[in-house]
């Protein structure tokens, strides 16, 4: 379904990155370029050079000024690059003109196209593949008359083919607006059907009464590592914990699919933990819209845990990116704690509390314990101590309460079993008839 733009399976494609510096982005320009390089590397591209220009605003026709375009042409020939990627979004006119002026066999794409390509490579589930494909098609619409549009549909039929997987005997699809709009409509219909099942699962989780925690933050900050450490230690899945782990690797956007696991702590408190798609600055709007259902795991949570790579010198910029993205998906009002991860790399003392936040390392056992302690205090702060009197003929109710809650005190009298435990308001209402006043 989802398809890749660049052929990165056998040899790394040589690429020149381009960017314009102006008053708006000059303060963080170096960081933006470094992030841009990391994106290219994440797509298995070989960055052979970076060309920048100080310019108030991009040229409407060619992005760069005429002299800089000539310099880019010479650089492409000297470095034997056949791909140019802009850090800014390009119009169809800019792409078409640049390709004509540089060389007929050189492709010009932009940052959004690059991120879409990375997402296409990372998408594993059918829903994720469809979401990426939808974003790709929406990205194609205004770029029908560029080489990019031709590349986008040179692919095998179904089953997650890439843009560079040339289907055996396949002919190019006729790329016109009606065709793409029909494809968008078909994808949306299929997604709606698949997401309805996901919605049913989410409603079941909502009805469970369990608290929900979502790990959020910049891509490659360590969310999946924390998820796996918690699953190893506290998941209710016994010997199957290895199968329930999420994929983790030191690269941008290693995982796209939201994963939810049921966690049971030693004190019997339970919650649902989800790992969400990573954020990045200027995440394409089409992708945010396409992955809205995945991001809803964050916006519907009781607590957000922001994971930050404190060893990265630009971690404060990453905090800003996460804050902007949370506002974008309507999750800015949800309570949040921050884990300043990779403290071992940053040579910081850990684990240490910083207010309600934590300086830690996902690879450290004591950090995991401190993490869980923080969750215990923050997530379950609304629990209230209550005394219940369970009649002897309500043994199943008593068993359920003991199984799922930490009992603080238990004694018997002639009317039944008196127990003291901590419950949420919802649970107190559920067992209201047993409250011992």
Residue ranges in 141-248 assigned as alpha helix (H): 147-152, 177-207, 223-234, 241-244
The pTM for the full model equals: 0.74
How does pLDDT run across 167-212, given as a tens digit for each residue? Answer: 333 334 455 678 888 889 999 998 888 877 665 565 555 555 688 9
Lowest-pLDDT choice from 77-81, 155-159, 277-281: 155-159
Beta pairing partners, 108: 84
- Give the other-Cβ count within 10 Å of 104's Cβ: 7
Binding residues for Mg(2+): 224, 255
Using 50, 70 and 90 to split pLDDT, how confident is the model at 163? very low
Give me the CATH number covering residue 261: 3.40.50.300
Supply the range of the domain harboring residue 405.
384-434
Asked whether residue 236 falls in the same domain as residue 317, the answer is yes
pLDDT at position 46: 94
d(CA 210, CA 434): 21
Q: What are the residues facing 271 on neighbouring strands? A: 211, 263
What are the strands of the beta sheet with 259-264, ordered from one edge? 259-264, 270-275, 211-216, 303-309, 336-341, 357-359, 352-354
- Please name which of 312, 313, 334 lies closest in space to residue 323, comparing C-alpha atoms: 334
408 vs 8, which has greater pLDDT?
408
* Confidence at residue 241, expressed as pLDDT on a 0 to 100 scale: 47
314 assigned to some structural domain: yes
Do 285 and 395 reside in the same domain of the chain?
no
Per-residue pLDDT, 370: 95
Quick one: pLDDT band at residue 294, thresholds 50, 70, 90? Answer: low
Q: What is the pLDDT of residue 221?
A: 87
Annotated binding site for GTP: 217-224, 253-257, 275-278, 341-344, 361-363
**Residue 101: half-sphere exposure toward Cβ, Cα within 13 Å:** 23
Report H helices in 18-85. 29-42, 66-79
- The CB-side HSE value for 430 (13 A sphere, CA atoms) comes to 11
Distance from chain centroid for Cα 306? 12
State whether 354 and 217 are in the same domain. yes
Number of domains within the chain: 3
Q: Does the structure show a pLDDT above 50 at 238?
A: no
CATH of the domain at 88: 3.40.50.11060
pLDDT band of 373, cuts 50, 70, 90:
very high
- Which residue numbers belong to the known binding site? 217-224, 253-257, 275-278, 341-344, 361-363
Last residue of a domain, one of 74, 98, 124: 124
Q: 217 near 307, Cβ under 8 Å?
A: yes
Are 417 and 389 in contact by the 8 Å Cβ rule? The answer is yes
Domain end (from 124, 153, 183): 124
Report yes or no on 147 lying in a domain: no
Question: Residue 351, preceding bond cis, omega within 30 degrees?
Answer: yes
Residue 327 included in any domain: yes
Q: Are residues 420 and 326 both part of a single domain?
A: no
pLDDT-derived band at 149, boundaries 50, 70, 90: low
SS3 content of the chain, % helix, strand, coil (to 5): 45, 20, 35
Sheet holding 407-413, edge to edge: 384-391, 416-423, 407-413
Residues 94 and 80 in one domain: yes
* DSSP tally for the chain: helices H, then strands E: 15, 14
The percent of residues in the chain predicted with pLDDT above 70, rounded, is: 79
Shared-domain flag, residues 238 and 374: yes
Of the residues 88, 103, 124, the one at which a domain ends:
124
The angle subtended at Cα 41 by Cα 325 and Cα 118, nearest 5°, is 50
Band of the pLDDT at 121, cuts 50, 70, 90? confident
Residue 345 has pLDDT above 60, yes or no: yes
Residue 20 lies in a domain: yes
Q: Count CA atoms within 13 Å of residue 405 on its CB side.
A: 26
Whether residue 306 contacts residue 322, with contact meaning beta carbons closer than 8 Å, is answered with yes
Among 224, 43, 16, 35, smallest CA distance to 119 is for 43
Confidence of residue 50 (pLDDT cuts 50, 70, 90): very high
CB 273, CB 104: distance < 8 Å: no
Nearest to 300 by CA among 330, 336, 257, 256: 330
Residues 269 and 345 in one domain: yes
Average pLDDT, the chain: 81
Give the residue-averaged pLDDT of 384-394.
93
- Whole-number pLDDT of residue 118: 85
Angle between helices 177-207 and 126-140 (to 10 degrees): 140
Distance between CA atoms of residues 307 and 418, nearest Å = 42
Let me know whether 276 and 409 are in one domain: no
pLDDT value of residue 172: 47
* 162 has a pLDDT exceeding 60: no
Q: Is residue 173 part of a domain?
A: no
The DSSP line for 86-121 is: ESS---HHHHHHHHHHH-TT-EEEEHHHHHHHHHHH
Across 210-236, b (16+ Cβ under 10 Å) vs e yields bbbbbbbbbbbbbbbbbbbbbbeebbe
Dihedral angle sign, alpha carbons of residues 256, 258, 262, 266: positive
Residues 307, 212: one domain?
Answer: yes
Predicted confidence at residue 355, as pLDDT, reads 86
Q: pLDDT value at position 388?
A: 94
Q: In Å, how far are 192, 237, 266 from 233, measured between CA atoms?
A: 36, 10, 10
Query: Are residues 283 and 240 both part of a single domain?
Result: yes
In this structure, is residue 189 part of a structural domain? no
pLDDT at 164: 34
Q: Are residues 345 and 400 in the same domain?
A: no
Whether 184 is covered by a domain: the verdict is no
Could you tell me if residue 242 is inside a domain?
yes
Whether residues 366 and 410 share a domain: the answer is no
Using DSSP, state whether 250 is helix, strand or coil: coil
């Amino acid at each position: 379904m989802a398809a890749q733009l660049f052929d990165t399976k056998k040899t790394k494609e040589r690429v020149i990155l381009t960017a314009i510096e102006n008053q708006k982005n000059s303060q963080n320009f170096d960081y933006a370029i470094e992030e841009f390089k990391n994106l290219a590397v994440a797509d298995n591209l070989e960055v052979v050079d970076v060309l920048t220009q100080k310019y108030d605003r991009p040229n409407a026709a060619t992005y760069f000024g005429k002299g800089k375009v000539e310099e880019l042409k010479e650089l492409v020939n000297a470095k034997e690059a056949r791909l140019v990627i802009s850090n800014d979004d390009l119009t169809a006119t800019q792409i078409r003109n640049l390709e004509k002026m540089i060389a007929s066999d050189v492709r010009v794409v932009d940052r959004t196209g690059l991120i879409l390509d990375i997402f296409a490579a990372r998408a594993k589930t059918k829903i994720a593949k469809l979401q990426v494909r939808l974003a790709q098609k929406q990205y194609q619409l205004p770029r029908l008359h560029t080489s990019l549009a031709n590349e986008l549909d040179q692919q095998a039929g179904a089953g997650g083919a890439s843009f560079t997987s040339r289907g055996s005997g396949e002919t190019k699809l006729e790329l016109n607006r009606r065709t793409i709009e029909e494809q968008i409509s078909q994808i949306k219909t299929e997604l709606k059907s698949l997401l309805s099942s996901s919605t049913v699962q989410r409603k079941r989780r909502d009805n469970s009464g369990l608290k929900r925690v979502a790990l959020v933050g910049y891509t490659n900050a360590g969310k999946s590592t924390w998820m796996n450490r918690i699953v190893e230690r506290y998941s209710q899945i016994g010997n199957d914990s290895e199968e329930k782990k999420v994929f983790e690797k030191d690269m941008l956007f290693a995982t796209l699919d939201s994963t939810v696991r049921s966690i049971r702590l030693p004190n019997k408190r339970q919650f649902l933990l989800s790992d969400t798609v990573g954020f990045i600055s200027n995440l394409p709007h089409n992708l945010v819209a396409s992955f809205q259902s995945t991001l809803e795991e964050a916006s519907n949570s009781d607590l957000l845990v922001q994971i930050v790579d404190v060893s990265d010198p630009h971690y404060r910029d990453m905090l800003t990116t996460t804050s902007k993205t949370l506002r974008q998906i309507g999750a800015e009002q949800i309570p949040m704690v921050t884990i300043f991860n990779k403290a071992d790399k940053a040579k910081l003392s850990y684990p240490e509390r910083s207010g309600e936040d934590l300086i830690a390392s996902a690879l450290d056992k004591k950090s995991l314990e401190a993490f869980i302690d923080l969750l215990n205090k923050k997530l379950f702060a609304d629990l209230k101590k209550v005394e219940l009197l369970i009649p002897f003929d309500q043994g199943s109710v008593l068993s359920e309460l003991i199984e799922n809650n930490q009992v603080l005190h238990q004694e018997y009298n002639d009317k039944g079993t008196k127990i003291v435990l901590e419950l949420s308001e919802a649970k107190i209402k559920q067992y209201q008839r047993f409250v011992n006043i």
